[in-house]
Amino acid sequence: MGCAVLELNDMEANMQTTLREILANRYAKCIDVSKRIRWDIDRDVIRGRTFDFGKKFLPDGLSRVDQLACLSGKERRLMSQIQGRTYANIFRLVERYIVAKVLEVSRGHCLGDQIALEALVRFSDEELKHQELFRRLEKMIAEGMPAGYAFRPDPDEIAKAVLRKSTWAVLALTCCIELFTLAHYRQSIEPDTELSELYKDVFLFHWKEESQHAILDELEWVRENGNLSAAQRDQAVTDLIELIAAVDGILTLQSTADVDYFLSACGRTFTAGDVETIRAQMLSAYRWQYIVSGVREPRFNEILGRMITPEQGARIAMALAPIVN
């Protein structure tokens, strides 16, 4: 009997060691790839180029401007550029809270796993670089577009609100964002041959580094999940639902600002019915880009599904229903 217990303990210890090794390898792999694909904003991405305003920025698969029959080709292009500008600004916005959270979770590895720590430090460093890239982009795009565009949400205010939620919920949201970033590039941006080349390259280089971030988000999210009691996880699900509602609030605010800007930049009047259609379509496109395409990502559902109960899954689905439909 004593022997059987010892054997079980040995087996469990071996399994723990194997699990630790698998995890260590995943962090190490992220460091390797991060070193190999490391890029520079000027030398690799911008390369002295400017944006071609004769081309679209955001592909139709994301902007859905092809569904707006009331717009001319030129107006659709303008709307794709406005949405593309906001797309870069939204990344700049979320990367503010992402860096803060990644630095916070990296403290959990400070006196332990130095490989995990290095992977997360590189992750934060890359997100700081991405913010700089998107700030540069905003300036370059502003020079080629009519005045009046405004990006309404404040990154620090949003970060403060997000960081008040539980780490589990913040990592869930982050994992969702980084997974949809990869999907957007592969499914919509890369295959579209009509886009501004510089715009396309920005998201190619962004995609390369985000691939490691999505893996690290998952590792840290799963690690945090293991620290929670059932009651804490239930609260974290509530937090995630509140975060999704907050994202929807940001999208409503920005889509309104972007339609106002579009209407003034267009230089012609639309019927009240057309304006209503444009407003509804823009909000629906933003919801698709920043919420729906993310929560439908199979990998996101797989990870989330392993952590929550069917009841918690139903709560999330119910909160998402008005946004998805």
Is residue 56 within the footprint of Fe ion (CB under 5 A)?
A: no
Choices 78-86, 183-191, 210-218, 298-306 (CB under 5 A): range interacting with Fe ion = 210-218
The binder of Fe ion chosen from 130, 200, 233, 287 (CB under 5 A): 130
Is residue 210 within the footprint of Fe ion (CB under 5 A)?
A: yes
Nearer to Fe ion, 136 or 279 (CB): 136
Is residue 248 within the footprint of Fe ion (CB under 5 A)?
A: no
Is residue 213 within the footprint of Fe ion (CB under 5 A)?
A: yes
Helix residue ranges, H only, the chain: 2-37, 60-63, 73-106, 114-144, 155-163, 167-184, 197-227, 230-266, 272-287, 293-295, 298-307, 310-324
Choices 154-162, 204-212, 234-242, 281-289 (CB under 5 A): range interacting with Fe ion = 204-212
Choices 15-23, 128-136, 244-252, 291-299 (CB under 5 A): range interacting with Fe ion = 128-136
Is residue 217 within the footprint of Fe ion (CB under 5 A)?
A: no
Tokens representing residue 292 in the block: 């729906």
Tokens representing residue 294 in the block: 């993310």
Choices 213-221, 233-241, 248-256, 312-320 (CB under 5 A): range interacting with Fe ion = 213-221
Strand partners, 56: 195
At closest approach, how far in Å is the CB of 46 from Fe ion?
Answer: 16
Nearer to Fe ion, 210 or 258 (CB): 210
In angstroms, how far is CA 40 from the centroid of its own chain? 21
Residues 135 to 174: which contact Fe ion by CB under 5 A?
none
**Entry field: residues in the chain:** 325
Residues 178 to 197: which contact Fe ion by CB under 5 A?
178
DSSP 193-244: TTB-HHHHHHHHHHHHHHHHHHHHHHHHHHHHHHH--HHHHHHHHHHHHHHH
* Residues within the interface to Fe ion (CB under 5 A): 130, 178, 210, 213
